[in-house]
Chains A and B, each alone.
Chain A
Amino acid sequence: QQQVKQSPQSLIVQKGGISIINCAYENTAFDYFPWYQQFPGKGPALLIAIRPDVSEKKEGRFTISFNKSAKQFSLHIMDSQPGDSATYFCAAPRGRAAGNKLTFGGGTRVLVKP
């Protein structure tokens, strides 16, 4: 049973455009939602994360929007650049205890065209 579902699977955006990736979760006990960025052959890098007590968090060109009632959260990449071309994963931890696994959402491959 997949507890975190991500869409779209792939995305092509022009340089300067906005990339939007959505995630839906099922477990209402989830209370931390990170996004990871991964380049081919590299490890996932923690990009930005949000807790459900806020509806939006912004770091530079990256913004997370959170809708608790809909159990959805999304990543917006503003002014997308070719260097942003990567795979993006949303995730959620199983619980608060140390060592609890992350469940990933499937990934979205983003290609930013110059």
Chain B
Amino acid sequence: AAGVIQSPRHLIKEKRETATLKCYPIPRHDTVYWYQQGPGQDPQFLISFYEKMQSDKGSIPDRFSAQQFSDYHSELNMSSLELGDSALYFCASSLLSYEQYFGPGTRLTVT
């Protein structure tokens, strides 16, 4: 079965640079979620979109923005990167409101 696709899988950036993470949901899924996971921590919710509209918002820094496009893929834009932004970033998608399926993640390293 098709899964959530994330790109790139690994990304190395320097402080103050920008990064764009992409997410392609499971076909026919209409909702996309972004989570950030630090080492040994829970995934922390950042933001979600349903039918291209922002649905829920968590502890997403003002330096980050995201959107969902007409083909339902989503992009997370991160600017003025800080060392503390180094983490795994997961995208999840759902069709039913409860069952969220996670992608393989993007490992972001800020040096």
Q: Tell me the A residues contacting B by CB distance below 8 Å.
A: 32, 34, 36, 41-46, 49, 89, 93-94, 96-107
**A-binding segment of B12-20, B76-84, B103-111:** B103-111
User: Do the beta carbons of A94 and B56 come within 8 Å of each other?
Assistant: yes
User: Do the beta carbons of B49 and A99 come within 8 Å of each other?
Assistant: yes
| Binary per-residue interface labels of chain B (23-65) against chain A in the complex, 1 for a CB within 8 Å, 0 otherwise | 0000000110100000011110100111100011010000000
| B-side interface residues, number (CB < 8 Å) | 29
A45 to B92, CA, bound (A): 10
Q: What's the A-B contact tally at a CB cutoff of 8 Å?
A: 73
Does B72 lie at the interface of the complex (its beta carbon under 8 Å from any beta carbon of A)?
A: no
Does B70 lie at the interface of the complex (its beta carbon under 8 Å from any beta carbon of A)?
A: no
Give A103's nearest chain B residue, CB to CB.
Answer: B45
User: Do the beta carbons of B49 and A45 come within 8 Å of each other?
Assistant: no
Q: Tell me which of A41, A44, A99 has the highest count of chain B C-beta atoms within 10 A of its own C-beta.
A: A99
User: Do the beta carbons of B56 and A99 come within 8 Å of each other?
Assistant: yes
Q: Tell me the B residues contacting A by CB distance below 8 Å.
A: 4, 30-31, 33, 40-43, 45, 48-51, 55-56, 58, 88, 90, 94, 97-105, 107
User: Do the beta carbons of B99 and A46 come within 8 Å of each other?
Assistant: yes
Q: List 9 A-B contacts (CB under 8 A).
A: A32-B98, A41-B88, A41-B105, A49-B99, A98-B31, A98-B50, A100-B97, A102-B33, A103-B45
